[in-house]
Amino acid sequence: MLYELATLSLKLNTINQALPRLADYADSGTTHGRLVGAWETEHGVIITRLLVLREFDDAQQLAHERSHLFASDNPFGIGEFLDAFTAETYRQFPFLDDSIQTGTYGPVYEFRTYQLKIGGLAPTIAGWEAALPERAKLFPLTTVMYAVDGRPRITHIWPFPSLDERLAIRRKAVDLGIWPPVGGPENIAHATSTIAIPASISPLK
């Protein structure tokens, strides 16, 4: 499976108009890929942003959709509401299930992206594989993925019951000595974090 994580920058006060159109686009028979999640960002850059995660069966399917997306005057079915967008390609870490399971896990999600040092991917994957089973007992992971385009980086998505619970869970993981993974922080060149809330159309809640 391949995953596309798109960041959509919307014009002010258009989110309520854009979401039904985006849902129609995702459900249309002419669109490749399965909508996994859509989130409204709550912190960071002060613009209306949507994070959209889609799943594709293979590289050919994604390439076809990406070609259509970049050539379209109506990308994601919401062209009139868009100021800009980016689309990144990822694979899940190899020890995870093939497909992200949708459902209700949040309602607060954290997206963390780590740009990696050269050669940092292999030890990062190994560290996560060893540490994740104990960490996931505190609260489940949505996914951790590595980029197959652009700079070497990983993005991991975590659901939390609330912002307060997020802080408590993260502190407990550190206090128990089960997180961060061995080999993880040593290979991070740059890190960003975004808090996002599932949009009304999101299969991941």
Q: Looking at the domain assignment, is residue 136 inside a domain?
A: yes
Domain count, the chain: 2
pLDDT averaged per 10 residues, the chain (length 205): 97 94 92 94 77 97 94 97 97 93 96 98 98 96 97 98 96 97 95 96 98
Phi and psi angles of residue 203, each rounded to the nearest 5 degrees, phi first = -65, -30
Beta strand extents in the chain (DSSP E only)? 2-10, 34-41, 48-56, 82-92, 108-116, 143-147, 153-160, 188-198
Looking at 37, 64, 92, the residue that finishes a domain is 92
- Asked if residue 81 and residue 118 are part of one domain, the reply reads no
What is the per-residue pLDDT for 44?
Answer: 59
- Asked if residue 38 and residue 85 are part of one domain, the reply reads yes
- Asked if residue 150 and residue 85 are part of one domain, the reply reads no
- Each residue's pLDDT tens digit, 61-81: 999 999 999 999 999 999 999
Nearest residue to 87 via CA among 165, 157, 9, 196: 9
Q: What CATH number does residue 43 fall under?
A: 3.30.70.100
Task: Please give the mean pLDDT across all residues of the chain.
Answer: 95
d(CA 110, CA 94): 21
What is the per-residue pLDDT for 45?
Answer: 61
Q: Looking at the domain assignment, is residue 117 inside a domain?
A: yes
Structural domain including 14 reads 2-92
User: For the stretch 40-77, what's the b/e string if a residue is b when 16 or more beta carbons lie within 10 angstroms of its beta carbon?
Assistant: bbeeeeeebbbbbbbbbeeeeebeebbeebeeeeebbb
Q: Looking at the domain assignment, is residue 103 inside a domain?
A: no
Q: Looking at the domain assignment, is residue 99 inside a domain?
A: no
- Asked if residue 47 and residue 22 are part of one domain, the reply reads yes
Q: Looking at the domain assignment, is residue 203 inside a domain?
A: no
